Structure 1
């Protein structure tokens, strides 16, 4: 337990974190996370955060040492995609029971589970996750994993991130620490080259990294390891031989990027593949870092030629949407890198940003938003559901981009909504991804269903009252109708 506390405090005191850089020594020792309160981890505990970072490693067996519910609640928690192995889609757990806890059989059961996985699936490695229960009863998963590694000649990696340790973001960083301590640098590639890079914090949601990788392939740049999206264990083990790195989500794995730079001299920068301009800038910075590390400078010219070609195609496709979307107002309720990169991407085609959440954004992210929007009036740390509903129901935004948790607020306000977070069904990265994002926004805003649901329901409409006509005119009208119906006149039929 003491070793876990040391790791947590070490992760909190992250030198590369903009938050910590602005603190004095005394404040920095308290950590960069707010004190936990009961229920504070309801949005995702440390165990959940570690699983998010490591589960996309597709050829590894992920074993949860916990009661069944822990794995049941965290399995398939993100829409990541794999181009090959599917072992990561298989759920493994020791399924501890009350009797196992009382009788102290947890460690023995864990060792047996590791042996069964090795014999049945022969994975290149097994990741073992601790949980609240196993940490509280004192099961030493590090000792069990060390013994299993020796016994089965198979890497068995302990991931010490029990849920009660803290928030999901802390779990992200603890997962990065596990990779640094047990995986990265444990294998040597036989094909290392001057154009190898790492991509950190990219989860390949809906397969969107597959829209970016062909661009790098055309430049002759090889992704040595994409951590964690569509990753392989051996690639991550060899990640220390990359020449440069791009950090996509700094809030999740900034500690991993910094320590890899310290240990193996791998420079990194934070960038984004959302939007035409930011994608181009990311490609430029990757090429520049590689040249600084010894690559042939001719790659800079090839990069500019590729950017010019792709931008021309992208802007031509987006031109068709500009007349339909220019001036439309978007409320962005997300965080992290999307809080500024998506803002920039949408403003490029004339969309107005009426607000963007910065709850999960770093200080640097917030400064970028201020620079893009020219002020901070459209930034909000957190907006209560009641406030969100009021803003949307008053038609202050034409569409809301957010995660699945707030979709029903938009639907209740009869406002178009598009998923921009991990549950999204469409890839939005790169040049083609930007076109797809704009296409989905256009489809959502101009969907005819919104005009229909905003109209009063038929049962709420009062029947129209016919205006009363003068008596003489009513009689004349009635006589005219009877004449048309019978084909006779009043004189032919006598008195009425």
Structure 2
């Protein structure tokens, strides 16, 4: 069953790239299976865990050795406005003896203990390499536990050896579609309910655009999965529209929700002023098309005009200090193109963008915003080449994830974390101002002149 599920995910019909392929090419799939020792950057289990762990009120139980939970725990800085149960680590801690005797009884006992102690609305059970290789039937254990204990127990079949972190993201979305979404029927469905897919509330970014939606009378039925609650996700099939923030991770879920419940979707971004405004316009347009009050369109334009004016006024003092500064953007996914425009809007130049974790649609958008210069797009940049860019003055600073920071710092170049470990929210209008403020504090800090100057003994 898992093999068939992976084959289905590997030629997603909602992906524009797959639509352009021949039938034979589609059958080959679009992903690469991992080889032993090549899980750096995340395996399928890790991808499923970080995609679903932001559901804050459920028990996330890892069926595997304790190292699997230790390595994946709290891997994304997702904030919660309520329960902190998602921050607790749960694992069956499979040992050598369990590998010989099997771990199904131990798993059932762990599920029972977690429900008795925490009384969660659901338990998510993550299958790992070890449990899968010894043949533990996680699906059967979860079914039995659901029937006997009266609490939904959801199997997440994503052993690390089946593929990359992105495949794990999609397997997590499949688990939500098959076992969670549609299992709760709300009594308050409205004409302005939406879901946002691929939003993980990193550093509290959800609260940078959720108030904008509320001012327009738009209710966020569910964020999948940032700051989400189990019952919200279970009832999100009644929403009128879906917005997809990270299509590479959850476009399959968006497509299947459209097919089953008729929920249209579009891909957008809340990074940058223009992209935020476009996202609000698209949400309003889709809701009006589905029967919402037609005045929503005019109210949205009024809100956009007001918020853009305030944001540009707050950004004005920074523009002269940042104009012409060159940035290397080393990230992936939606940020590979959305952050480009955010930086260009304040006069900065993006000299390169990594598209190693981006879809073909992401790459096309990035290329368009870089003026069609393909030399500025790269799947990966070696540390040596990256270091040379900084030493030769081709880039004044870098925005990337934490693993790349040391190359920039070794070259005595400013660096800002733009990935999931960061502690600043950069979404919507307020987030754009926060991003520019952090860039200004970093790139114009007097420390760089000091660390680049010759040491006293070198002068003598």
In 2, the alpha carbon distance for the partners of 1:457 and 1:159 equals 56
Q: TM-score, normalised by structure 1?
A: 0.92
CA RMSD of aligned residues (A): 0.8
In 2, the alpha carbon distance for the partners of 1:389 and 1:22 equals 37
Question: Residue in 2 aligned with 1:89?
Answer: 87
Once the 2 structures are TM-superposed, how far is the Cα of residue 368 of structure 1 from its aligned partner?
Answer: 1.3
Contact 1:402/1:418, CA 8 A, preserved across alignment: yes
In 2, the alpha carbon distance for the partners of 1:243 and 1:39 equals 44
Question: Residue in 2 aligned with 1:351?
Answer: 348
In 1, the alpha carbon distance for the partners of 2:294 and 2:241 equals 15
Question: Residue in 1 aligned with 2:130?
Answer: 133
Question: Residue in 2 aligned with 1:189?
Answer: 186
Question: Residue in 2 aligned with 1:225?
Answer: 222
1:205 and 2:202 correspond: yes
In 1, the alpha carbon distance for the partners of 2:101 and 2:34 equals 32
1:390 and 2:388 correspond: yes
In 1, the alpha carbon distance for the partners of 2:111 and 2:32 equals 36
Once the 2 structures are TM-superposed, how far is the Cα of residue 249 of structure 1 from its aligned partner?
Answer: 0.3
Question: Residue in 2 aligned with 1:433?
Answer: 431
Alignment of 1:437-476 (within 5 A): 437-462=435-460
Contact 1:40/1:167, CA 8 A, preserved across alignment: no
In 2, the alpha carbon distance for the partners of 1:195 and 1:211 equals 19
Question: Residue in 2 aligned with 1:416?
Answer: 414
In 1, the alpha carbon distance for the partners of 2:363 and 2:66 equals 40
Q: 3-state DSSP class of the match of 1:82?
A: coil
Alignment of 1:15-30 (within 5 A): 15-30=13-28
Q: For residues 378-409 of structure 1, what are the alpha-carbon distances to aligned partners after superposition, in whole Å with 9 as ceiling and x for unaligned?
A: 11111111100111111111110000000000
Once the 2 structures are TM-superposed, how far is the Cα of residue 460 of structure 1 from its aligned partner?
Answer: 2.2
Once the 2 structures are TM-superposed, how far is the Cα of residue 365 of structure 1 from its aligned partner?
Answer: 1.3
Contact 1:211/1:430, CA 8 A, preserved across alignment: yes
Alignment of 1:83-122 (within 5 A): 83-104=81-102, 106-122=103-119
Q: 1:172 aligns with which of 169, 172, 185?
A: 169
In 1, the alpha carbon distance for the partners of 2:101 and 2:346 equals 64
Q: For residues 445-470 of structure 1, what are the alpha-carbon distances to aligned partners after superposition, in whole Å with 9 as ceiling and x for unaligned?
A: 011110000011122223xxxxxxxx
Q: Highest CA radius of gyration, 1 or 2? A: 1
Contact 1:79/1:424, CA 8 A, preserved across alignment: yes
In 2, the alpha carbon distance for the partners of 1:34 and 1:140 equals 25
Once the 2 structures are TM-superposed, how far is the Cα of residue 35 of structure 1 from its aligned partner?
Answer: 4.5
Structure 2: gaps (5+ residues): none
Q: TM-score, normalised by structure 2?
A: 0.99
Contact 2:194/2:239, CA 8 A, preserved across alignment: yes
Q: 3-state DSSP class of the match of 1:40?
A: coil
In 2, the alpha carbon distance for the partners of 1:359 and 1:439 equals 27
Once the 2 structures are TM-superposed, how far is the Cα of residue 39 of structure 1 from its aligned partner?
Answer: 2.7
Once the 2 structures are TM-superposed, how far is the Cα of residue 331 of structure 1 from its aligned partner?
Answer: 0.6
In 2, the alpha carbon distance for the partners of 1:369 and 1:112 equals 49
Q: For residues 313-352 of structure 1, what are the alpha-carbon distances to aligned partners after superposition, in whole Å with 9 as ceiling and x for unaligned?
A: 0000111101100111111011111111100111111111
In 2, the alpha carbon distance for the partners of 1:281 and 1:257 equals 19
Question: Residue in 2 aligned with 1:298?
Answer: 295
Once the 2 structures are TM-superposed, how far is the Cα of residue 367 of structure 1 from its aligned partner?
Answer: 1.4
Q: 3-state DSSP class of the match of 1:212?
A: helix
Question: Residue in 2 aligned with 1:248?
Answer: 245
In 1, the alpha carbon distance for the partners of 2:394 and 2:316 equals 25
Q: How many residues align?
A: 459
Contact 1:185/1:237, CA 8 A, preserved across alignment: yes
In 2, the alpha carbon distance for the partners of 1:357 and 1:171 equals 21
Q: 2:235 aligns with which of 238, 243, 246?
A: 238
Contact 1:46/1:172, CA 8 A, preserved across alignment: yes
Structure 1: gaps (5+ residues): 463-496
In 2, the alpha carbon distance for the partners of 1:42 and 1:416 equals 26
Q: 3-state DSSP class of the match of 2:202?
A: coil
Contact 2:62/2:125, CA 8 A, preserved across alignment: yes
Contact 2:328/2:353, CA 8 A, preserved across alignment: yes
Once the 2 structures are TM-superposed, how far is the Cα of residue 296 of structure 1 from its aligned partner?
Answer: 1.0
1:279 and 2:276 correspond: yes
1:315 and 2:312 correspond: yes
Question: Residue in 2 aligned with 1:6?
Answer: 4
Q: 3-state DSSP class of the match of 2:109?
A: helix
Q: 3-state DSSP class of the match of 2:398?
A: strand
Q: 1:374 aligns with which of 357, 360, 371?
A: 371
Contact 2:33/2:162, CA 8 A, preserved across alignment: no
Contact 1:18/1:362, CA 8 A, preserved across alignment: no
